[in-house]
Amino acid sequence: MVIKGIQSGYGISQAFPVDISKNAKQVGGTGDAGKFVGELVNKVNDLQVKADGAIQKLATGESKNMHEVMLAVEKSGISFQFLTQVRNKALESYQEIMRMQV
């Protein structure tokens, strides 16, 4: 049975521009999952910082583009929800492994 990775075009690649084929080649060590999650957290943080900056510029009058601000806010919100779901799935997997009998 062959399990294929997530292909680009599902919208995730736009929020998290990571080369999936590059990450698939690197998998094999114990630190890879932690590195991936760390990079994901950093990217979500960057998106949230950009959204906060866009809100501040709109509030001070530096920017008049309300639609760009809303796009930045929604992008950061969706990326945070994605990160939360990744965390939930990782936690569920860990709990399932802990429930296994040896």
- Domain contains 53: yes
Q: What is the pLDDT of residue 63?
A: 86
Least confident of 28-32, 41-45, 74-78, 83-87: 28-32
Which has more pLDDT, 74 or 16?
74
| Domains in the chain, number | 1
Domain that holds residue 49: 32-99
Is the pLDDT confidence value at 94 over 90? yes
Q: How confident is the model over 51-75, as a mean pLDDT?
A: 93
Determine if the pTM surpasses 0.75. Answer: no
What mean pLDDT is reported for the chain? 81
- Domain contains 16: no
Three-state SS for the chain is CCCCCCCCCCCHHHHCCCCHHHHHHHECECHHHHHHHHHHHHHHHHHHHHHHHHHHHHHHCCCCCHHHHHHHHHHHHHHHHHHHHHHHHHHHHHHHHHHCCC
- Domain contains 81: yes
- Domain contains 9: no
- Domain contains 11: no
